[in-house]
Amino acid sequence: MNNPFAPVEGHYALLRNGVVMGAYKQNSQGFWVGVASDINIFWKPDGTAYGSDNHGNRRLKPDHDIIATISPEAMALAIHPDMDGAVKAIESLVKLADAACDYADSHCRAFPIATAPKEGVFLAWDNFGGEWEILAAGNEGFYHPERFTHWAPLPPPPSNPPLPAVFTDLGAALEKIKGAG
């Protein structure tokens, strides 16, 4: 069972029973208040819920605990009038994010030395010296994995180049989605 989430002002609340409640403000006692059918629901600051019926009888309502909060932007996408268009926008955003992650994997991460290129020059982490060294494939020290544990591609020469297209495309798509809210 998921632990309850604290309510967030301005966000929607996904309840354990699957209902999505609108974002409500806190009452004078510091509880968040909402109405579900004939029961008034109150959420404590930790997201756990209790209800009271029209006669003021209180009872715990664990099925009304908040298990996630949903931002207004995410909710706008979820209830987008052009659902097919929204799904396509999300699918294209996922593709752009995947491309950005692929770029980061191939240009920004360190990899186990066993997967180092067999030719060319790259950075290698010298476990003994505690620093990056430039190695050429075939360097005798390269074959001692207890000394060199990881490798990374050399960074591009300093020139302050523009961001790769995968990042500018992702940024443009995010700006477009922000504007749709």
**Around 98, how many Cα atoms within 13 Å sit in the side-chain half-sphere?**
6
Share of the chain above pLDDT 70, in %: 69
Q: What is the pLDDT of residues 109-134, one digit of tens each?
A: 788 888 888 888 898 889 888 898 88
Give 50-103 pLDDT, tens digit per residue: 777 666 667 767 777 888 878 877 777 666 666 666 667 777 777 777 777 777
Q: Which residues have CB under 8 Å from 31's CB, separation 6+?
A: 42, 43, 44, 45
Name which of 20, 25, 54, 22 is nearest 39 in CA terms. Answer: 54
Q: What does pTM read for this prediction? A: 0.38
